Structure 1
Amino acid sequence: MAELARSVAPPRGIEEILLETTTAAVELIPGADTAGILLVAKGGKFESHAGTTGLPHELDELQHTLQEGPCIGAAVDETIVRTDDFREESRWPAYSAAVVKIGVLSGLSLRLYTTERTAGALNLFGYEPTVWDTEAVTVGTVLAAHAASAIMAGRQDAELKSALATRDRIGQAKGIVMERFGVDDVAAFDMLRRLSQESNTPLVTVAQRVIETRG
């Protein structure tokens, strides 16, 4: 777990970290034959990540089609959703019947605490009936927290890079305006800001247009 925690630090890619997490889940949790991560973005868009095999993605697609299943429940509503034997599961009748035909008999889904915009779950599946004990749930919960940390760290890094790029574009536009009109940086920024307000256009868009048309 200490090795996984260190892996969250940039410049490691999010997908690589998530795959290490799902791989660790299969290695550490008895009964977990495959694992993946499901994210449900705002608007209901499904995203499958870091499957140790192609099966988790297939099951995510199945739940999306049927609009029922444990992964959706864990991603959106429940903290932990467990099924020891899908042949006896009554909460999602269509989904349970379908996964049994595929050969999946047990599942454990643990919610990822990410942001208000996105819900997610770490999903484990077994080819045999599995009694998911306290140790399995504990290890899974820790791994789910690790995955959530990686997702949030990656998004913060992306937002920071976007903010820096925005600041750089505005700075370039200010320099162009200063040179063209012989004004200082405060006046140049005020000109850009007023143009943004009067045209009801984001400031960064105005800045980009200034840069593109500086000739």
Structure 2
Amino acid sequence: MGEHSPRVEDDSWPVLADRLAAMARDLLAQESVQDTVDRISAHAVALIDGCDAAGILTLRRRTVRTIAATDDVVRASDAAQGELREGPCFDVVTLEGSVQHIPDLREAGDSWPAYAPRAVELGLRSAMGFRLFDRHNTLGALNVYSFAPNAFSPQDEHVGWLLASHAAVAFAHARTEDQLQTALRSRDEIGQAIGIVRERFDLGQDQAFAVLKRTSQDLNVKLREIAEKIVRGEELPR
């Protein structure tokens, strides 16, 4: 299907809207990227009818990585998709389109001839994959599974898409915050390391920074890691 699933009118939509709003506030209140993606997976199981397990995978340099999972079967499914280079969630992050919905994996052999039988062996029968993306990047895929065939209705698919849209915003926000905090910590540690090298070797600031930079290059180790070692009291390699 395309970017938007058809809206299904139902008396439960006001309740769902309230639950999605509560989810969005909960996700933005998390203190780390890991906490955020763990909560996204948990909310998927709670909010999508028929969902038995959920998780998030990422694809970096052709390597599939499970960063959150409510059940080990999710990790096994992700590993199979990474190994076989096919599957609903793998396709969501590598091909066009934001949603994959497979009513019965026993009947999905034409689409994923290697993955579908493996998924059935794991006990999975229904699956949905939702691409998590912001303006600039595909962040990963939200994977939703059921142990029963034909478990997800069009409304469930739409709920999943709405959940994934909220989740992508929270995921991107958490990742940006984490990168900012890492950069600030690195800057502070590098500043402390420069001060230590200046005092230890009676050098000027530019000279001390040059020592750190040269050590980083010689050892093929990131400057931040060299700074961490010095701040911890370790000697500079000679």
Supply the AA of the counterpart residue of 2:161. T
1:25 equivalent in alignment to 2:41: no
1:14 equivalent in alignment to 2:30: no
The root-mean-square deviation of aligned C-alpha atoms, in Å, is 3.3
Q: Equivalent residues in 2 for 1:89-128 (5 A)?
A: 89=108, 90-113=110-133, 119-128=139-148
1:139 counterpart residue number: 159
Q: Distance in 2 between matches of 1:20 and 1:34?
A: 13
1:36 counterpart residue number: 55
Q: Distance in 1 between matches of 2:229 and 2:106?
A: 61
Q: 1:213 offset after TM fit, Å?
A: 5.4
1:61 counterpart residue number: 79
What TM-score comes out, normalization by structure 1 length? 0.76
Match of 2:63 among 24, 37, 45: 45
2:207 counterpart residue number: 191
Q: Distance in 2 between matches of 1:22 and 1:11?
A: 13
Q: Distance in 1 between matches of 2:38 and 2:227?
A: 39
C-alpha distance 28-176 of structure 1, shift in aligned 2 (>3 A): closer
Q: Which runs of 5+ in 2 are unaligned?
A: 1-19
What TM-score comes out, normalization by structure 2 length? 0.70
Q: State the Cα deviation string for residues 3-25 of structure 1 (Å, max 9, x = none).
A: 22222335534333333322322
Q: Which runs of 5+ in 1 are unaligned?
A: none
Q: 1:154 offset after TM fit, Å?
A: 3.0
Supply the AA of the counterpart residue of 1:137. E
Q: Distance in 2 between matches of 1:17 and 1:136?
A: 22
Q: 1:108 offset after TM fit, Å?
A: 0.8
Task: Give % identity.
Answer: 33
Q: Distance in 1 between matches of 2:69 and 2:139?
A: 17
Conserved? CA contact 2:212–2:227, under 8 Å: no
Which shifted more, 169-178 or 85-94?
169-178
Q: Distance in 2 between matches of 1:171 and 1:59?
A: 45
Supply the AA of the counterpart residue of 2:166. H
Conserved? CA contact 1:192–1:203, under 8 Å: no
Q: Distance in 1 between matches of 2:210 and 2:125?
A: 63
Q: Distance in 1 between matches of 2:136 and 2:84?
A: 24
Which shifted more, 128-137 or 74-83?
128-137
Q: 1:43 offset after TM fit, Å?
A: 1.5
Match of 1:79 among 92, 95, 98: 98
Q: State the Cα deviation string for residues 180-215 of structure 1 (Å, max 9, x = none).
A: 7989xxxx443345556777847657766876559x
| Count of aligned pairs | 209
Conserved? CA contact 2:57–2:66, under 8 Å: yes
Q: Distance in 1 between matches of 2:136 and 2:230?
A: 35
